[in-house]
Amino acid sequence: MKLKTALTKKQIDFLNKYTKGRWKINSKTGLVDIEGDFDCYNKGLKTLEGIKFGVVKGDFSCSHNQLTSLVGTPQEVGGYFSCSNNLLTSLEGAPQKVGGNYCCGRNLLTSLVGAPQEVGGNFLCSYNKLTSLVGAPQRVERFDCQHNKLTSLEGAPQKVGGVFQCSENKLTSLEGAPQEVGGWFGCECNLLTSLVGAPKKVGGNFLCLKNPIPEKALKLIWERMQTGVSYYIALASLKKEILDEKQKDIEEKQKEMEEKQKEIEEKIKEKQKQIGEINSKYETVLAQIGNDDLAKGASLLGRFGVYS
């Protein structure tokens, strides 16, 4: 079978315009190989002019266009591959081997089927409409799937060398999350009511702001899970600790109230004693005053108008 290797003038002009290096048609595959980079960033393109690329030794960027398909893009890219900011709904036809970063963010992707299983750098698929991570690469440096519609992390790589970011989704648990993350792990702004499936090892911070369960509680549970216990045992441990602290607070307040009551009773007794002493002194004085003296005193008071 004879390979079709001829290119139209339009295709040749297209390659010459956007290739940084040298391109050639591979006589064995009939595909266009490039010794260098290919960059058609932000050119308003709707297609790649029907060109089928084979191996690109450098970088390949077709981002910020109006592409709806990746059919024809390279099978292998030595540097980074970027198809972000297009109108893609699928990664079918995308490179299966990428040596650097793989960027497919800000498209209309609902699935990662078609993505390579190994990426030499970071895999960035944020700001899409993903409902599943099935098909995601299993070996990456950093994985970023924030701002999607994920309800599960099933399909995510189980080991990530750097950061794993899954914030701004609809996750209620972390089932399917990588179990080992070299950098920080971000799951902020989700619907988390459970940490089932959370990583067993995280090299950086565990970020969990703005979820139904307060960040402090989630972090305390996660810290307990880092000792090797399951989510449910960590949760039970935290509940017991909280209840014990509340009981301790109640007992301390009761003790404080008892001490205050005792102090009040002692003050009352002291006042009663003082009143008794005063009454006793006046009774002694009154007993020493005769009846005549009392009558004289009353008469004097009357003269000064005390009883008038």
Beta strand pairing call for 19-25 and 32-39: antiparallel
**If you average pLDDT over every residue of the chain, what do you get?**
89
Size of the chain, expressed as the number of residues it contains? 308
pLDDT for 229 equals 87
Cβ(62)–Cβ(41) under 8 Å?
yes
Share of the chain above pLDDT 70, in %: 87
Tokens 């993350």 sit on residue: 181
* Mean pLDDT for the stretch of residues 141-162: 98
The per-residue pLDDT for range 182-198, each reduced to its tens digit, is: 999 999 999 999 999 99
* Mean pLDDT for the stretch of residues 3-22: 90
- How do the domains of the chain map onto residue ranges? 249-303
- Burial code (b: 16+ CB inside 10 Å, e: under 16) for 241-254 equals eeeeeeeeeeeeee
- Residue 156 CB-density burial (10 A; 0-12 exposed, 13-18 middle, 19+ buried): buried
Give kind and range of the element (H or E) at residue 34. strand 32-39
Query: What Cα–Cα distance (Å) separates residue 251 from each residue in 17, 91, 241, 280?
Result: 80, 62, 15, 43
The per-residue pLDDT for range 245-279, each reduced to its tens digit, is: 776 777 678 788 878 888 887 887 887 777 777 77
pLDDT for 298 equals 58
Tokens 């970063």 sit on residue: 101
| Predicted TM-score (pTM) of this structure | 0.78
Distance CA 72, CA 291 (A): 130
